[in-house]
Chain A
Amino acid sequence: MLSRRSVLKGAAVGIAAVAGLSACSAEDTTSSAGGPKELVIGILAEPSSWHPAQTHVGHLLQPYQLAYDSLLLRQPDGTLKPMLATEWKYTDDAKTTLQLKLRTDVTFSDGEKFDASVVKANLENFKKANGKQVAMLENFASAEVGDASTITIKLAKADPAFEYYLSQAAGLMGSPKAITGTDIATTPVGSGPYTMVKAESVKGSQYVFTKREGYWNTSLQKWDKITLKLLIDVTARVNAIVTNQIDATLLDPNTRSQAEAAGLTLLQWPVDWNGLLLFDRGGKVCPALADVRVRQAINYAIDRESLVKNVAGGQATVTSQVFGPASGSSVEGLDKLYTFDQAKAKSLLAAAGYANGFDITIPMTPGDDITSNYIKQMLGDVGIRVAITAVPAADYQGTIGKGTYAMARFNLFQGPTWVACNQLIVPKTLYNPFQSTNDVIAPLLEATRGAGDQVGEKGKAVNQYVTENAWFAPFYRANQLYFYNAKKLKVTEQVQMAVPSIYNYEPVA
């Protein structure tokens, strides 16, 4: 019979062997200087399909940038520069006809050539495919091919955000042959700086890309190999980055100190606003919300400072307006318009006839419980009784859009002015499920739409209106907390994007 001692010895040998084996294989990513430049990024979400028409925003734009080029290139500070298009301009005052001049030296990874007909095919396909960002091309009417390097796009209505869209999902160009097939869903075929290594890529785990020979812009091709590692859980991401298994990733206030303690460098910039969307301005589901005083009372009831401290770990700026500073439509004094004033909130409620408060239900997803608890408590303290319903994360956006709830909390990114209007304020949009509109806001929106370069200025009026009328109850603008290994690379933030563009990662010499 095996004695205890021999068992323990055996176990010790076993563990040592395993540890030794794992040490041998510990290929951490700190590669030796002069070797191939390899980057490993930890990502939170993976593309469900690599077809360019299925591209999303933010986190789900970055992976596509590896394989696809866009018509226009958006710089880290938001300015638009040529990429596949060399020049572009509106040829009419109504700003409904946009003419672009295109590059002639670009080929796709399957050998197809890039030209105006490819642009037309992609744009039409984007609209037809009904992907997540199909609304970007809502005003796209048609595209006319001039010659191989000229294309004219006709819009149904002026759209100040259109050029911006051409630097985002709508502007990604896939190989004309591939976009009509089905293989492109699993293996991207674009004209971008990298190509996917199918043998090493596993859905749900990681995607590996290598430098593409013959790419037309080697200045954008800074790495030999880029691996995107899917780590949905933030704890897994911080574990991976402190053990050097990945080089860069997005973390949160809870994991920040761990990363800093490990000597990683922090890059932070504001992207999202976090707050309540007070959808039911007509009072259909919750009659109380029809009264602007009630909505303002909600704004006064929130202790934004403590939310910044407790939820965002101090990494946020208090705000009362939904338009971000980068959009050009944020207004100086509006950030602090609503202070934390419970007495004022109560008196507003009383004036509106709700001295005894009222009941309201909000949805919540798992992971969201912290903020929801604070909301429930803060509103409860002024007499508004909040009931919380748990909603599966996958259903959340759909549920909000259906108009089931009078108000909901959400994180939304603060994009350029017209993007924000389209997202939140125009009647026919997901985040305006009750299609609130009136005689005051409608003309303001129209003016903004037709403002051309002045869209930022004109947008201020919209901002002023919705803020003073408490269409929303924003809490703060949170900073993205992006960490990276400064010994190996340098990262620059991308304004109004949740993670940096792939072009913003540079190896350290």
Chain B
Amino acid sequence: MTQTLEITDIPVGQTGTVKRASVIGRLLRNPMGLAAVAVLLLIVVCALFAGWLAPFDPTRATNTVLSSPNGTHLLGTDSTGRDILSRLLYGSRGTLLSAVIAAVVAIGIGLPAGLVAGYYGRWFDNLSSWATNILMALPTMIVLLAVRAAVGPNVYVTMVVFGVMVSPGFFRLVRTATQSVRGELYVDAARVAGLSDVRIIGRHILGVVRAPVIIQAAMVCGIAISFQSALEFLGLGDPTAATWGVMVNDGFRTIFRAPLTLLWPSAAISLTIGGFVLFANALRDALEDQVKTKEKRKAAQPKTVSTAPVPDVAAVPATEHLLEVRDLRIQYPQPGGGRTTVVDGVSWFVDRDEVLGIVGESGSGKSQSVFAVLGLLPDNAIVANGQIIFDGVSTVDASTSRIDQSALAALRGRRISYIPQEPMSNLDPSFTIGSQLVRPMTRLLGISKAEGEKRALDLLASVGIKDPRRTYSSYPHQVSGGMAQRVLIAGAISCEPDVIIADEPTSALDVTVQAEVLDVIRDLQTELHQGIILVTHNFGVVADICDRVAVMQNGRIVEQGDVRTILRNPSHEYTQMLLESMLVGKKPLTRLMSDSATGGMK
């Protein structure tokens, strides 16, 4: 019998489209980004219009030496009686020029070299990587000193050399990005379509590379200014130039007579470098792939284990099920305010000795709801509504709708466990399989390491691994996908949990291996009597081992009930459509799906 939903508010399903705000917009909305842009603009204006803005000639020596800020000289005068404000304004030119030369040289070398090395590879790649390694092994300051010893004080030469020294950063950045894009299928498609390499590089790769290069360029500008002023401070610069570094040197000499003469150029240098650094940071934040916008209220963090789950003082809502989810609503905040709803008023339950399948397309919210059960939603997820009760303990409270992490910390692994989807990326590559199996057991069950090892070997055998000892001592990169998935299953059952959540456990596997893994799961349940939740998009799997099934679309459950009933007589049109879209039993050369479109996903 299809269970009808009893819910309080009308579910609307997933709402809101994921907004991708423009990069500039995001940058300027970030207060640090705004400040950075303002500072940099200020410096540029000073540099461009120094001639108009400066009240005095920056080289004009006068008799009023080392005066404090006053009406005529707004920032005072230096040791030769020159107006500090004017020198600051003109000095911005030298500063910006240094930064620009360094950045241009660095990008001019690193960008093309990285593109060619990443795209074409082979000997050029080897040669340039080797050259890069040598450059990176040289302390920049020492090299600048050696150059200075050779050619004397010349800011252009110094900054060009500096640019060469930092070009490896750009080279590596561009090369990595180019290599990753080159491997993309659409580049192959472009080549097949006959686009020239230049056009491919220009069109596709430069677009990817543009942002990281700008960020790196901002950092390089900041560092270039720091180096140049350091050299001038040491007295190794050109003393005839009116630059900020020379002003710091001058101020340092007169630091006891007039400390402010040191303050102004130091502040100018720090402010400019800070502007570049902030700009780079803000731009990086604005470009983050996952728009991890967080609302002001922090979501709960997973906490360390407490001794026992604190029983909910408020009346524990009665439920006869092992695990029940009621009216769960999960939302994510959007950049610029607002929220998207990914799971909207979902309810299901599971008991011992039964397998519940949760079926739906990608993006329907099925994985989200099980993560909520585990308490492993991403940091910025908001549980807006709902209750989750496990064995009488409320892990998501009815009144506050907060995930109770301390309760869940005691349950995870021990009473509720999880089999992830993609086997290879879910094992820690630095630890042997054996240690990853044993550790949770020794921790949660309190057994000795020797006992843990024995059990682990037994578990590996029980999930159908031929040579448990060998797998036990192997690292994840040494085993196949199928074996890894079995290992993950072994891990999930190792502490004998009451509920196992299997998130598309067979999607990443070959068909034959799929069947074996399903057998393993089924056998285990016969032995251990857990409740199993199987999340999948594959009705074949559902038909194979599930007892009950819930069909999700757009964050809602559209149909839920006994497997046989639903498969034979789907009452909701979405379920019907899904069933129809399976190839098995399909008449050849007919349309796969009916024309009525599915709901918009994203």
Q: Does B55 sit within 8 A of A, measured CB to CB?
A: no
Q: Are A392 and B65 in contact, CB atoms less than 8 angstroms apart?
A: no
Determine which residue in A258, A368, A388, A390 has the highest number of CB atoms from chain B within 10 A of its CB, and name it: A390
A 353-374 contacts with B by CB, 8 A: 364-370, 372-374
A390 and B155 CA atoms in complex are apart in Å by 12
A364 neighbours in B (Cβ, 8 Å): 239-240
- Does A235 belong to the interface (CB within 8 Å)? yes
Distance A257 CA – B153 CA, assembled complex (angstroms): 32
Interface size on A, residues (CB 8 A): 25
Q: How far is the CB of A324 from chain B (nearest CB, A)?
A: 26
* CB nearest neighbor in A for B79: A370
> Is B61's beta carbon under 8 Å from chain A?
yes
Known: A234-B253, A374-B61. A310 touches B81 (CB 8 A): yes
Is B238 positioned at the interface, with any CB of A under 8 Å from its CB? yes
Decide: A367 near B235, CB < 8 A? Known: A254-B79, A258-B256, A390-B152: yes
Are A309 and B253 in contact (CB-based, < 8 A)?
A: no
The contact of A388 among B60, B81, B153, B240, by CB within 8 Å, is B240
A238 CA / B255 CA spacing, docked (Å): 11
The contact string, 1 if C-beta is below 8 Å from chain A, for chain B 236-265, is: 111110000010001011111100000000
Residue of B nearest to A254 (CB): B254
Known contacts being A254-B253, A254-B257, A390-B153, is A366 close to B81, with CB within 8 Å? no
Q: Which B402-451 residues sit within 8 Å CB-CB of chain A?
A: none
Q: A306 contacts which chain B residues (CB < 8 A)?
A: 63
Q: How many Å lie between the Cα of A380 and that of B60 in the bound state?
A: 11
- A436 on the B face (CB < 8 A): no
* Residue ID in chain A nearest B81 by CB atoms: A310
B80 within 8 A of A: yes
Contact with B along A443-470 (1 / 0, CB 8 A): 0000000000000000000000000000
- Whether B257 contacts A257 by the Cβ 8 Å rule is yes
- Most chain A CB atoms below 10 A, which of B61, B81, B237: B61
Write out the residue numbers on chain B whose beta carbons fall within 8 Å of the beta carbon of A310: 61, 63, 65, 79-81
- What 1/0 mask marks residues of chain B from 248 to 292 whose CB sits below 8 Å from any chain A CB? 001011111100000000000000000000000000000000000
Chain A contacts of B250 at CB under 8 A? 369-370
Task: Kindly provide the distance from the CB of A255 to the nearest chain B CB, expressed in whole angstroms.
Answer: 6
- B80 x A374 contact (CB < 8 A): yes
Chain B residues lying within 8 Å of A372, measured Cβ to Cβ, are: 240
Interface residues of B, CB < 8 Å — how many? Answer: 25
Decide: A369 and B255 in contact? CB cutoff 8 A.
Answer: no
Contact B256 A390 (CB under 8 A): no
Interface of A is mostly: helix
B235 touches A235 (CB 8 A): no
B149 to chain A, nearest CB (A): 9
For A390, what are the chain B residues with a Cβ–Cβ distance below 8 Å? 152-153, 238-240
Q: A235-B255, A238-B256, A364-B239 are in contact. Are A377 and B63 (CB under 8 A)?
A: no
Min Cβ gap A502→B in Å is 28
Which residues of A from 299 to 349 have beta carbons under 8 Å from B?
Answer: 306, 309-310
A367 touches B239 (CB 8 A): yes
- Tell me whether B152 and A392 are in contact (CB under 8 A): yes
Residues of chain A contacted by B255 (CB below 8 angstroms): 235, 254
Residue B59 interfacial (CB < 8 Å): yes
By the criterion CB–CB under 8 Å, are B240 and A235 in contact? no
Given A309-B65, A310-B80, A390-B153, CB of A257 within 8 Å of CB of B256 = yes
Which residues on B sit within 8 Å (CB–CB) of A374?
Answer: 61, 80
A310→B79 CA distance, assembly (Å): 7
Most-contacted residue by chain B among A364, A366, A368, A374 (CB, 10 A): A366
Question: Least Cβ distance of A192 to chain B in Å?
Answer: 35
Q: Which residue of B lies closest to A394 (CB)?
A: B149
Bound CA span A151–B427, Å: 94
B257 touches A377 (CB 8 A): no
Interface contact B61-A373, CB-CB below 8 Å: yes
- Which A residues lie within 8 Å of B59 (CB)? 373, 376-377
Q: Please measure, in the bound complex, the distance between the C-alpha atom of A376 and the C-alpha atom of B65, giving whole angstroms.
A: 17
Instruction: Specify which chain B residues have a CB less than 8 angstroms from the CB of A376 in the assembled complex.
Output: 59
A104 to B60, CA, bound (A): 64
A-B contact pairs, 5 of them (CB 8 A): A234-B253, A254-B255, A257-B257, A310-B61, A310-B79
Binding site for A on B (CB under 8 A): 59-61, 63, 65, 79-82, 152-153, 235-240, 246, 250, 252-257
6 closest Cβ pairs, A-B complex = A258-B256, A369-B239, A366-B235, A310-B65, A366-B239, A373-B61
A positions within 8 Å CB-CB of B: 234-235, 238, 254-255, 257-258, 306, 309-310, 364-370, 372-374, 376-377, 388, 390, 392
- Give me 9 other A-B pairs in contact (C-beta within 8 A), A238-B256, A373-B80 excluded: A310-B81, A366-B236, A367-B239, A367-B253, A369-B80, A369-B239, A373-B59, A374-B61, A390-B238
